[in-house]
Amino acid sequence: MRLETRHWIFAGLFLLIGVTLVSGIKLDLPVSPDTQRMYDLIEKLPDGSVLLVSFDHEASSLPEIQPIARALLRHGFEHKLRLVGLALMAEGTAIGYRLMCETAEEFDAEYGTDYVFLGFRPQYIAAILSMGESIKATFPEDYLGRPYDSLALMRPLGNYSDVAGVLSIADGSFTTHWMEYGGRYKLKVLAGVTAAMVTTYDPYLASGQMQAMVSGLRGAAEYETLIDRIGGGARGMLAQTSAHLYVILLVILGNVSYFLKRRRAN
Amino acid sequence: MDRKIAVVICFAFGLVMFAQYFSAHPLARSVNQTIADYWQIIFAFALIVGVVGFLNNNFQQVRKGQDRPFRLLSLAGFVIMPVLAMIWGIKTGTPFLWVFENVQVPMQSTVFALLAFFVASASYRGFRARSVPAAILLSAALIILVSRSFATGPLSDWLPGVAEWIRNNPSMAARRAILIGIGLGSLTTSLRVILGIERTWLGGGK
């Protein structure tokens, strides 16, 4: 097989990411105002406040989404918030449940009192609207089939007026639905999203329809700095930085070669 | 006649949902809850249609001998996952979650990660400053790319500010224009459907 330019590019990227991932270099990241805003908002919530955490993502974006979710969950549990997990995408269900259980274990949080995982409901718009009227009617049982009223945390919760807000962990446009349909019930929306979705949500953040947003691996790494718990965000950030610089180098090389060829042709 | 019934039902539900949105009356809330419940039930039935379609398509292809190993693997996954969930449950540490975490998640992440290689290759071969607009786009993309990375030294002083300006001004202006366009388009289409002017959803042209 004859090796073409693209094969060398692929090999270069593979090697670069591999080397940076094992290098273990620590990055000293400055915290952006967006990430700081999320941190401050969670800090301001009184102890025992109930926060819905919606895992609205697929498995494919897990390397980017998981560090964001884990950092936010850690802050939530550390700050003694009571977290109610759910998923509007089927794939987010198992991931969300595992993430919540693992993070809760770090803080000795008790299932049913400090956190609950409600599971998945099909048709996200109907689910969001229905929870606005009654969370119990939408989720009569939790993910493991326990009745709603048997869970101490859930018993006093009627609808959105009993929760501090929703934290949507999303890799697509699901957070928009929380704002559009949850907004009717004055539900406060926070978001942890992939970097690719930042520009989609910028107008909502600027208009105040979204309260705060942590985005991409950089956001996760910044949040880990804030809560002083280094995790997947900082590690991934190193690989992402090297890949970004590699892409920039390729763009420059591609353009230099393009202009040289054009000059020769003229 | 059957089409007229569908149009009348659509009009009635459109009107009811529109009216209840502006009311906090218990009756309006109850109507909203009931319709949301039915909506979820109807959607669950739509999933059955998808499942039947998946099975039908795969069995047909297996019979024809087309991509047989892949089709059989898909069907095996379709059977195995519910069986694992029914026998051992879906808690952490169960075979269901193990298969999900160790088969589905890595496979999907791998396919998604391949994008990085295509982007790297495309950035060398396709991202060219052929014209002034292309050069502006290229510069903005590079600034945003560096701003999402870890930049040190003099870059870290001015780069975040420039990237923030791009996000908050040209990028947000374009995004808002698109959102307003989508909003107006959705409103128009909804009105056309509710009033029975738009009937293509009934499966015919007229």
Residue of A129, A134, A210, A214 for testing the chain B interface, max B β-carbons within 10 Å: A129
Among residues A113, A122, A127, which one has the least CA distance to residue A84? Answer: A113
| pLDDT (0 to 100) of residue B161 | 85
Q: Could you give phi then psi for residue B155, rounded to 5 degrees?
A: -60, -40
Q: What is the pLDDT of residue A77?
A: 96
With CB atoms and an 8 Å threshold, state whether A9 touches B129: no
Task: Note whether residue A17 is domain-resident.
Answer: no
Q: Does B39 contact A123 at a Cβ distance shorter than 8 Å? A: yes
For chain B, the domain total comes to: 1
Task: Report if residue A255 sits inside a domain.
Answer: no
- Cβ–Cβ of B172/A199 closer than 8 Å? yes
Task: Supply the ipTM of this predicted assembly.
Answer: 0.81
- Which pLDDT tens digit goes with each residue over B73-95? 999 999 999 999 999 988 878 89
How large is the average pLDDT for residues A45-74? 94
Q: Which tens digit of pLDDT belongs to each residue from A172-193?
A: 889 999 999 999 899 999 999 9
Q: Is B170 inside any structural domain?
A: yes
Residue B76, burial from CB neighbour count under 10 angstroms (0-12, 13-18, 19+)? exposed
- For the beta sheet containing A165-170, the strands, ordered from the edge strand earlier in sequence to the opposite edge, are A115-120, A82-87, A50-56, A165-170, A189-193, A212-215
Q: How is residue A181 written in tokens?
A: 């349909």
Q: Please indicate whether, in this complex, the C-beta atoms of B90 and A144 are within 8 angstroms of each other.
A: yes
Q: Helix, strand, or coil here: B108?
A: helix
Cα(A59)–Cα(A253) distance, integer angstroms: 34
Domain holding B144, by residue range, is 127-193
* B174 occurs within a structural domain: yes
Domain that holds residue A83: 28-240
Residue B160, in any domain of the structure: yes
Whether residue A246 is contained in a domain is answered as no
CB within 8 Å of A23: residues ≥ 6 apart: A238
Determine, for residues B148 and A59 on separate chains, whether the beta-carbon distance falls below 8 Å: no
Angle ∠(A18,A22,A24) on CA atoms, nearest 5 = 135
Q: Which residues of A touch B90 (CB under 8 A)?
A: 94, 97, 143-144
| Residues of chain A found within 8 Å of residue B51, distances taken between Cβ atoms | none
**% of chain A exceeding 70 in pLDDT:** 100
| A249 lies in some domain | no
Total number of domains constituting chain A: 1
Are residues B120 and A9, on separate chains, in Cβ contact within 8 Å?
A: yes
pLDDT at B154: 59
CA distance A159 to A85: 15
B109 found inside a domain: no
Residue in B33, B39, B150 nearest the CB of A241? B150
- CATH number (domain holding residue A145): 3.40.50
Residue A4 lies in a domain: no
